Structure 1
Amino acid sequence: MRHRIVVGVHLVIRDRRGRVLLGLRPATSAFGAGQWHVPAGHLEEESAQQCATREAREELGIAVNPDALRLLHALHQRDPDDGHARIQLFFGVEGYAGRAENCEPDRCTELGWWPQDALPPNTVPYTAGALAAIAAGVVYAESGWTT
């Protein structure tokens, strides 16, 4: 049987001071309840870059040109909660038009800018790990797989 995998597309957006944009997930959320996470979504019938630009528009109300995206990190993960395999792609956004705002208040209770080396303790664990890997220049990592 051929393996199927969920692909998550994540946006790493930094301000002029180098802080990373995170959104706080509602306490009632099925994923990441009460935790901070970068803007993200799941790949649909589209390319990863198209997904990133769509999520930027839907979640933040900003326009991102695909040429402004740079792949920073890929995480091949076995989810600890459901055991499903996932690929998490983290794209750096090197420019956008508009002002980032919370366009999905049912999925995000607030937005905040955080220093990459001082993330809130309640950051989604794989997100914190990916941001640390990005800071260290690590492009690929695996998590949750047994050897």
Structure 2
Amino acid sequence: MREAQEEAGLIIERGNVELVHLIHLVDSPSARPRIGLVFRARSWSGTPSILEPDRCVEWRWWDPKDLPAEVVPYTRQAIEGIVAGQLYSQLGWDER
């Protein structure tokens, strides 16, 4: 909820989110492992705005099968997991 407000200017109430995916990732062999929690907002208020232009160039709705090539790898992995009905995925562990 905080990230949605900071990064997109959206207001999401606590009762309007649900956990839909957890991704355990390592960005590189020397990086510390991280866990990303992905939530789905059932409703929100506001219009998406680009509040971090150094990290995001555009907000747009995409069909998951038509994502652009530039999607961050762990984001792509999480979306693929959600579409497949999987609560958990991991990324980068094979390279360690």
Within-5 A mapping of 1:55-74: 55-74=3-22
Note if contact 2:24-2:90 (Cα within 8 Å) is conserved in structure 1.
yes
**Which structure carries more strand by proportion?**
1
Identify which of structures 1 and 2 has the higher relative contact order when contacts are C-alpha pairs closer than 8 Å and 6+ apart: 2
Is residue 99 from structure 1 mapped to residue 47 from structure 2 by the alignment?
yes
Alignment partner, residue 84 of structure 1: 32
Report % sequence identity: 38
- The DSSP-based 3-state class of the residue aligned with 1:110 is coil
Amino acid at match of 1:92: R
Alignment partner, residue 15 of structure 1: none
102 and 134 in structure 1: CA distance in 2 versus 1, 3 angstrom threshold: same
Shift of 1:108: 2.0
Aligned residues: 95
Amino acid at match of 1:77: L
- The DSSP-based 3-state class of the residue aligned with 2:61 is strand
Over residues 2-57 of structure 1, what are the superposed CA-to-partner deviations in whole Å (9 max), with x where a residue is unaligned?
A: xxxxxxxxxxxxxxxxxxxxxxxxxxxxxxxxxxxxxxxxxxxxxxxxxxx11111
What's the TM-score, normalizing by structure 2? Answer: 0.86
Amino acid at match of 1:97: S
**Which structure carries more helix by proportion?**
2
Q: Structure 2: give runs of 5+ residues left out of the alignment.
A: none
Q: Structure 1: give runs of 5+ residues left out of the alignment.
A: 1-52
Q: Which of the numbers 99, 110, 126 marks the counterpart of 2:58?
A: 110
What's the TM-score, normalizing by structure 1? Answer: 0.58
Output the CA distance in 1 between the equivalents of 2:85 and 2:37: 15
Quote the RMSD (CA, aligned, Å). Answer: 1.9
Shift of 1:80: 2.0
